Chains A and B, each alone.
Chain A
């Protein structure tokens, strides 16, 4: 899976591309766990290039949220397409994440915390 990454202010923005399913989620998980290793992780996951997320992908996001929470860091998701948003919604996970419409808004929100 192609994963791009950049830093905006002190926030790391990770943008996976394509499908996050049982085949690709392991690569994303290992990438995110590397990124979340930072002392106090401040992260944004940008979903603008993600077409689909399966329950395996949701698990990766839950694991990341837990890691960030345990380290007292901050995490926001942004730019969820309708179908990706629906998967979070179906599982009842929308209340667990800070979700912003744009990358800039998500970076601002994480930087402010």
Chain B
């Protein structure tokens, strides 16, 4: 086991690993018994450090047993070692497997949008029931103001005029000529795709015409 893997595990537990690396690590954890065990240990350590005492006993116990086993007469040791220590780990690792499966389930429940892999949710998912994760927020549909006594098509036309007009009527709003656009109804600034020119995004903030 490399230090890098340890660092990554630690970062994953703390929810600080970037999404791509987190994905890889989760795959590795699922495949490797050793990683699963370490993963479980990290959770135990993390909980202990955050003052969540539930696992402290587990740590002490495994440490004590390990110490006891070291002290056992050599005759019994090889056999005991191969059975007892993995058995202890198995319990913890079993929980880890369950957690990993839960995580995998969570990952599958998330809509597979590239680049929107949400690590925070995923890491939280390892310790909590899957059902709590899928949260859909109800958004208030704020339709904004609208034109009096007009059909939607006429209102849309008037909005088009108004946005254009607002570029001119700036004298008293002074420095805030576009404030009204920030405030307006979406339909006022949506552009008909037929006439629109699609621009290619350039991270420098400039854009070029396609």
- Do A and B associate with each other? no
A residues in contact (CB < 8 Å) with B: none
